[in-house]
Amino acid sequence: MKVMRNQASRLVLFIICLMYLIFYVDRVNLSTAAPIMQRDLGLTATQLGIAFSAFAYPYAFFQIAGGWLGDRMGPRVTLCICAVVVAGSTIWTGLVGGLASLFLARLALGIGEGPAFPTATRALSNWMRPDQRAFAQGITHAFSRFGNAATPPVIAALIVAFSWRASFYMLGAASLLWAGLWWFYFRDDPRKHRDITPQDLEGLPPSRVAATQKQVPWGPLLKRMLPVTLTDFCYGWILWLYLNWLPSFFLHEYKLDLKKSALFAAGVFFAGVVGDTVGGIVSDRILKSTGDVAMARISVIVVGFLGSFCFMLPIVFVHDLTTVAICLSAAFFFAELIVAPIWAIPMDITPEYSGSASGFMNFGFGMAGIISPVVFGWAIDWTGRWDIPFIGSLGVLLLGAVLAFTIQPGSRFVDVRESPMPA
């Protein structure tokens, strides 16, 4: 399959992939540095938990606000601002002296990262043909999952070589370098890029779509995107389950030491890297061969939910470590098949407002990140079992498969304000 026909598109995609990688490392770096920071700053476990939660609230809200900003100001300006805010908040984390400053730094990080993924979707909508969109979303999110898997050893190495404070300074500098690269190379409208030829523009959205938009039709767009939001909530529930509880599951359920539990968790996360990439490739190939966008997106999403359900189910009956690790890896692989097609859907439904639309969609993911830790923590405290969150999530996987059929990605959103008046 011809994924990219020109160097400019490939470089734009690669630069966005780097953003996903850097931003995700900045998002999860605190979990690796937390034990040393807790000791140095004199924080209790409760205070550390408060600092962890600070990221999620602005992140969820700025999915929508940031998506709108990306549609109004354009991805070039918006993502540059995001990168500068992420860099500042990451460097600030290296300067903190207690709970209050750490909480504010993580709050700022959530504000900086909240608009990033919806706005990146708007950028990809401008630069990618319809049969490239799922692949583009899959490979960018594969970089984010790779960042999640690589962060513990990278941050640990930086802390050992320098200090926990220096590790945040270096990561903040990486975000600033990315902002400069993005501003120098990217253009909102591909037609204004020096390396684009007329042949490269075939199949891309027209100039009026790539240009900055007027007022977003909030009510109708929210109604149109609500099924996607609910489906993404189900996916987010499963992803936050893995991100928040997988290392602790291996640590407590199987009495592994920290190093071994991290190793098993990393193996599971790398299965997700493969799933992100495969989901995008398969979805775009189906679209290219059939021309049916609904089949290309929904079939992969449903297979992802049902496959994850099937491989998570053995946890109820099996306690063998190797078998459970293999099943969780396969379940995560299938769950990550969902990512590329579901992120391509806002571009399919409304390329004109793909930033705002993907913000609405990923708000479901953000809400899952706020609700699920409380539910999972309560379930573990109540039962004393660390496998309960996984078992309890089986129903959410089935619900997601059912909700996927309500999305209708082949039905384009029409702004009634621009519809022609009846004669």
Q: Could you read off the pLDDT of 381-419 as tens digits, one per residue?
A: 787 776 777 777 899 999 999 999 999 888 887 766 554
Q: Give yes or no for a contact between 326 and 111, defined as CB atoms under 8 angstroms apart.
A: no
Q: Give yes or no for a contact between 214 and 346, defined as CB atoms under 8 angstroms apart.
A: no
What local confidence, expressed as pLDDT, does residue 210 receive?
Answer: 47
pLDDT at 212 over 60: no
Task: Please tell me the distance from the alpha carbon of residue 69 to that of residue 306, in angstroms, as a whole number.
Answer: 35
pLDDT at 203 over 50: yes
How confident is the prediction for the chain on average, in pLDDT? 82
Predicted confidence (pLDDT) per residue in 336-389, tens digit: 999 889 988 988 888 778 778 888 888 888 888 777 767 776 777 787 776 777
Between 214 and 181, whose confidence is greater? 181
The separation between CA 216 and the C-alpha centre of its own chain, rounded to angstroms, equals 23
What local confidence, expressed as pLDDT, does residue 413 receive?
Answer: 78
pLDDT at 197 over 60: yes
Q: Give yes or no for a contact between 351 and 213, defined as CB atoms under 8 angstroms apart.
A: no
Q: What value does the mean pLDDT take over residues 262-288?
A: 83
What local confidence, expressed as pLDDT, does residue 5 receive?
Answer: 56
Closest C-alpha among 122, 142, 136 to residue 70: 122
What's the CA dihedral at 91, 92, 95, 98 to 10 degrees? Answer: -140
Instruction: Pull the structure tokens for residue 172.
Output: 């903040």
What's the CA dihedral at 56, 248, 262, 153 to 10 degrees? Answer: 30
What local confidence, expressed as pLDDT, does residue 422 receive?
Answer: 42
Closest C-alpha among 232, 170, 224, 260 to residue 352: 224
pLDDT at 196 over 90: no
Q: Which long-range contacts (CB under 8 A, 24 or more apart) does 380-386 make?
A: 385/253, 386/245, 386/248, 386/249, 386/252, 386/253
pLDDT at 199 over 70: no
Predicted confidence (pLDDT) per residue in 38-48, tens digit: 788 887 766 77
Q: Which domains does the chain have, with CATH numbers?
A: 7-190+217-410 (1.20.1250.20)
Closest C-alpha among 284, 303, 285, 392 to residue 348: 284
pLDDT at 3 over 50: no
Predicted confidence (pLDDT) per residue in 294-321, tens digit: 999 999 999 999 999 999 888 878 888 8
Q: What value does the mean pLDDT take over residues 80-91?
A: 96
Task: Please tell me the distance from the alpha carbon of residue 393 to that of residue 305, in angstroms, as a whole number.
Answer: 11
pTM: 0.75
